[in-house]
Structure 1
Amino acid sequence: MKNYPAEMLNYHFWASQTILGRMKELPAAVLHQEVNTSFPTIAHALNHIYAVDKTWYMVLTGADMGAALQECMPLSGRILETVDEYVSLFAELAGQYNEWLGSGPDAEQAITLNNPYAGIRETTLAEIMLHTANHGSYHRGNISTMLRQLGYASTMNDYALYWYRQPVSAAL
């Protein structure tokens, strides 16, 4: 049986690289152009996605959420200069996730999540994995809107397109 939470994470990594690939086709200044939306620039949105991805990676690999947030949320304000830097940053983190996924974690493993903003709850690794992918999809949508506001087309990065981008053997 396919591990759908892991599949959604792989989609998330693919989709992030896809939107970054589109960003590389545009003038470099687009990354830092200000827009009137939920993030002041696309760079800020990318920083947020990365910081949250890193936070959840730390939680999935055993860190307390409070400690993970303390380490990762300052990353939300770390604005990188180029799209290539974001490509590398996201690829490195995807590699860490893939190494963890390769170790065969039990997606149904229950953990106690102590979220300093929302409280304590029981959850599973699968729920966190699905949330991470969903969070990235939401904010890639923000980036697509920001690109349109700046006068540029975005790129398709839907899950259905991901299906068709995978090798045939992986889809069986």
Structure 2
Amino acid sequence: MTHHAIKMYEYHVWANKEMFNRLLELGDEVYHQEIQSVFTSISKVVSHMYIVDQLWFHIILGTSMSEALEIEKVESDTKSIEEIITMYKELTDQYSEFLNDGVDLDKVLKLDTPWAGKRETSISEMLLHITTHGAYHRGNITAMLRQNDYRSVTTDLTSYWYSDQI
């Protein structure tokens, strides 16, 4: 049986695809539109999500938090929605390859974050963090779309359960 944390990560990938497909429908003008909200544009939210997913992937692979924070960040907020989808696909393929390679999800890694200090946490906990972080920011995107009179999409876990993705 697939580990619960992997199932939740797969939900995260599905939910991002659902949101990205909606953003594709709306186009780059809406994607890059300046807005007064939590972020200054939807592209900045998506860029933040991508950078954080990438950061945690490096940490899961064994890179220290301080080293992972120093890895050069691609200016992803200037990319088109099509380009960021391609970047996300490459990253999620790397996650999938790693997760399907028999990784010990209960393996404990030591974190040393500049904002919260030292902590030990398992790879499965990190996957759950990635999933909840993504859900939080998809909510930001939904609010930003509604603020500009655009319809969003449902990315709730229950929608994933009933989709043909499982």
Note the C-alpha offset of 1:28: 2.5
Is the CA contact 2:27–2:81 (under 8 Å) kept in the aligned structure 1? no
Q: Distance in 2 between matches of 1:53 and 1:137?
A: 12
Letter in 2 for 1:70: E
Letter in 1 for 2:4: Y
Is the CA contact 1:56–1:128 (under 8 Å) kept in the aligned structure 2? yes
Q: 1:148 aligns with which of 121, 146, 149?
A: 146
Q: How many residues align?
A: 166
Matched with 1:2 is 2
Instruction: Please list every run of at least 4 consecutive aligned residues from structure 1 whose deviation after the TM superposition is greater than 3 angstroms.
Output: none
Letter in 2 for 1:29: E
Deviations 1:36-61 (A, max 9, x none): 11100000000000000000001111
Matches within 5 A, 1:24-103: 24-71=24-71, 74-75=73-74, 77-103=75-101
List alignment gaps of at least 5 residues for structure 1.
none
Note the C-alpha offset of 1:27: 3.5
2:40 alignment partner, SS class = coil
Q: State the Cα RMSD in Å.
A: 1.4
TM-score, normalized by length of structure 2?
Answer: 0.94
Deviations 1:122-146 (A, max 9, x none): 1111110100010000000000011
Q: Distance in 2 between matches of 1:129 and 1:16?
A: 15
Is the CA contact 2:76–2:84 (under 8 Å) kept in the aligned structure 1? no
TM-score, normalized by length of structure 1?
Answer: 0.91
Matched with 2:133 is 135
Give the fraction of aligned pairs with identical amino acids, expressed as a percent.
37
Letter in 1 for 2:150: Y
Note the C-alpha offset of 1:111: 1.2
List alignment gaps of at least 5 residues for structure 2.
none
Matched with 1:119 is 117
